[in-house]
Structure 1
Amino acid sequence: MNILLRSAKIIDSNSKYHNKKMDILIKNGIITDIAKSIDLPSTFKEIRLKNLHVSNGWFDTSVSLGEPGFEERENIDHGLEVAARSGFTKIGLNPNTKPCIDNKSAVEFLIQKSASSPVNLYPIANLTQGAAGVEMAELFDMKNSGAIAFGDYNKSIDNANLLKIALLYAQNFNAVVLSFPQDSGIGTHGLVNESENTTRLGLNSIPNLSEELQVSRDLALLEYAGGKLHIPTISTAKAVQLIKDAKKKGLDVSCSVAAHHLFLTDEEIQSFDTNFKVTPPLRSQKDRKALVKGIKDGTIDMIVSDHNPIDIENKNVEFANGAYGTIGLETLFGSAVSELNLEDLIHCITEKPCQRFEIPVSTIDKNEKADLTLFNPDIAYTFHTDDILSKSKNSAFVGKELKGKAYGIYANKKLILN
């Protein structure tokens, strides 16, 4: 589709048009002109939107959809449409499926299934066979088939030697290894953060120590073995400091934080609403502030939704029996922009994740490929159930005041608008 974007404020610090309001002409997926005013060609569609901002296409590196195995929660086709309408032109798909994504055929299935979507799907494959944490999966074959990284989603690698070997082996083909930051031996039956608040509620807890021990161990293994380590969805102040210190040492480590950890705290647990039951758990206000600071000082590389659709049968139950997870594609931007400088946020959902996972990222300039997100960062609204686009409705943000919303995307020569 050929389009003309009218009066779009460009947010791209690598572009000479950064922070300028310009018309953008796109023909056959290529930006052919950028100027203060462009005459509308007869065969082009004109796009005028209130307070239109444009950035490089957003990349969420932690998304679960369900297919294969849990299509009742979300399938690939609909999930990618949700991603597009939420502003994402790229997603990293977690191996949160049944069967697991632990072989090249499974990786190729995901890529083929998503081939016609304007959203690029990048599989994150399992590190271990069957996500059992015992035997390493076929990493080299899966990397050649299109996997961008390897980890067992929301499952810690208890065997330190296995993680060490994975870090050593993955260096042969420049792969990133993920390690979920939770020591499974501490807080094994935990449901929520360990704090005075949650203790009063009588709920089993997962202390900060569980995350910090695992992060410390993994960083020690990285220092010993080398390689590339990514620690997803950190949630504590000390984890931020540990990773900051490791980066100062020169270790090749990156990390991400889920948007709900930037916006919410364990105070929400008083409602016993299972939509607030996530892993890692919602932490204290002190931790939340440290995470925000970690983004601002560059310690935290990426912001993710950790989008995890759960069917009503596994959420509309007693808190102790509810499944972990919240959806978040629809609310990542609206929650994170409330806490962060816009430019910092855009870096964490465009350039930084692309660089880490070696995904090409273009600049908003003439003759460049158009991979764009269209959004309004200033619109304030209350997020309601009716705003949920996903098949599953387990959102921790229902009733929350948010600021900023995506209009849609232009990617792979296709325009998707809400």
Structure 2
Amino acid sequence: MTVFFENARLIDPEAGTETVGNLVVDGGIIAAIGQMQAPADARVIDCGGKCLAPGIVDIGVKIGEPGERHKESFRTAGLAAARGGVTTIIARPDTSPAIDTPETLEFVTRRAAEAPVRIRHMAALTKGRAGREMTEIGFLMDAGAIAFTDADHVCADTKVLSRAFTYARSLGALVLCHPQDPGLSKGAAVTSGKFASLRGLPAVSPMAERMGLDRDLALVEMTGVRYHADQITTARALPALSRAKAAGLPVTAGVSVHHLTLNEFDVGNYRTFFKLTPPLRSEDDRLAMVQALAEGVIDILCSMHTPADEESKRLPYEEAAAGAVGLETLLPAALRLYHAGSLDLPGLFRALALNPARLMGLPQGRLCEGSPADLVLFDPEAPFVLDRFTLASKSKNTPFDGARLTGKVLATFVGGVQVHGQA
């Protein structure tokens, strides 16, 4: 089917432009952009002056299958993604069991077919994510693994990690790491400081992130592996990241929307929906992350979607599970940066769609002729109050429950097929 979008604010992150015009989709591909007439046989969608942008490519989404389907299934994650304007999910391997064999990877690849959005999978870097023996990276790549990571399990054995990096480099594989010093961060629930002391909570210094990143970057310099830091959250880590990029190392970095829009004081009186990994940081760190994203030091903005059931969250803060769902709230939360004047819309979608797609070698994330018609139509000015019980995710652990947000997804399209909305 041919689809004609008319009267749209076209957000092009690659060109860095925002223009009013029309867009034609034919055979699941963007066929034309500009001021043209609708083809005779096209389905016409009047965008009413609202924004049309590339669908979000969300790196680092946890889905409960296998082992924790009660927290999130491929179907519910796909529905939440479609409602949030996410058209491609890059799923994490921190499942039960971990995705560390071709057989497990093939299982989740088959299960992902029931989702209305595209899902690609990362595989574990070490067996069982235990940091003792690397996985069969070559076989996993043959089975469809798009990258390798142990998620928030930090490999403490530098020799094992260096061997994994060397092998990944020989195969051209991308490795994602969670930059933290495992000894300092073990058992921590919040960031160290006055707030942590007043609450009597176990804390970790922001230096733990810098120390972990310094080690990883030294190994990148030694091995030449393509490396992505999944979350940079402290100002102390930014100089090392900037130096690595300036030296031409194959390094990129991401940050979660929660660390860009919340700070340590949001924990309040032990509110466990705000317990994350890494923990929320100071307001100075948050502002430094916003600036780093705007300047391109940090490349990618993601949700770090981590579903947790009520039983694991309704516990004392120290014992509660870390993580928050974010597929459905990623765009409206990220639009806080736009409304604050920190980023324009093309810059925001560069971090949400274009840069993640480039990192993963995908054709998505672009608004140009010949690109896949994975699109999100949204109203950046529509206000609403979030009710977590209306979320499509099985788990409802969002820190934005009851928050006033501005920006609604009106419709989502994957390959030109509408998967959400009434457009």
Band the TM-score falls in, shorter-chain normalisation: over 0.9
How many residue pairs were aligned? 416
Deviations 1:36-56 (A, max 9, x none): 3534645x4332345421122
Deviations 1:206-230 (A, max 9, x none): 2111111101111111112221111
Q: In structure 2, how many angstroms separate the alpha carbons of the residues matched to 1:400 and 1:207? A: 29
What percent identity do the matched residue pairs reach?
Answer: 33
Q: In structure 1, how many angstroms separate the alpha carbons of the residues matched to 2:47 and 2:94? A: 37
Which residue among 241, 244, 258 is the counterpart of 2:242? 244
Q: In structure 1, how many angstroms separate the alpha carbons of the residues matched to 2:48 and 2:188? A: 46
Code of the residue aligned with 2:158 in structure 1: it is A
Distance 1:415 1:382, change over 3 A: same
Equivalence for 1:371? 374
SS at match of 1:321: coil
Deviations 1:298-350 (A, max 9, x none): 11010010000101110112212210000011111111221232222100112
Which residue among 385, 397, 405 is the counterpart of 2:408? 405
* Superposition TM-score, scaled by structure 1 size: 0.94
Deviation at 1:362, TM superposition (A): 6.7
SS at match of 2:122: strand
Q: In structure 2, how many angstroms separate the alpha carbons of the residues matched to 1:189 and 1:369? A: 44
Deviation at 1:7, TM superposition (A): 1.1
Mapped contact 1:308–1:326 kept (Cα < 8 A):
yes
Equivalence for 2:188? 190
Q: In structure 2, how many angstroms separate the alpha carbons of the residues matched to 1:204 and 1:53? A: 44
Code of the residue aligned with 2:25 in structure 1: it is I
Code of the residue aligned with 2:402 in structure 1: it is G
Q: Could you list the runs of 5+ residues in structure 1 that have no partner in the other structure?
A: none
**Mean CA deviation greater in 234-243 or 332-341:** 332-341
Q: In structure 2, how many angstroms separate the alpha carbons of the residues matched to 1:93 and 1:133? A: 20
**Which residues of 2 match residues 27-66 of structure 1 at below 5 A?**
27-36=26-35, 38-39=37-38, 41-42=40-41, 44-66=42-64
Equivalence for 2:274? 276
**Which residues of 2 match residues 27-176 of structure 1 at below 5 A?**
27-36=26-35, 38-39=37-38, 41-42=40-41, 44-115=42-113, 117-176=115-174
Q: CA RMSD in A?
A: 1.9
**Which residues of 2 match residues 207-222 of structure 1 at below 5 A?**
207-222=205-220
Code of the residue aligned with 2:149 in structure 1: it is G
Which residue among 346, 349, 354 is the counterpart of 2:349? 346
Q: In structure 2, how many angstroms separate the alpha carbons of the residues matched to 1:385 and 1:4? A: 34
Q: In structure 2, how many angstroms separate the alpha carbons of the residues matched to 1:394 and 1:256? A: 22
Q: Could you list the runs of 5+ residues in structure 2 that have no partner in the other structure?
A: 338-342
Distance 1:248 1:31, change over 3 A: closer
SS at match of 2:6: strand
Q: Which runs of 4+ in 1 moved over 4 A?
A: none
Mapped contact 2:29–2:415 kept (Cα < 8 A):
no
Q: In structure 2, how many angstroms separate the alpha carbons of the residues matched to 1:47 and 1:371? A: 15
Equivalence for 1:200? 198
Mapped contact 2:357–2:365 kept (Cα < 8 A):
no
Mapped contact 1:233–1:256 kept (Cα < 8 A):
yes
Mapped contact 1:68–1:98 kept (Cα < 8 A):
yes
Mapped contact 2:14–2:354 kept (Cα < 8 A):
no
Deviations 1:184-241 (A, max 9, x none): 2113221111111121011110211111110111111111222111111111011122
Distance 1:229 1:50, change over 3 A: same
Deviation at 1:28, TM superposition (A): 2.6
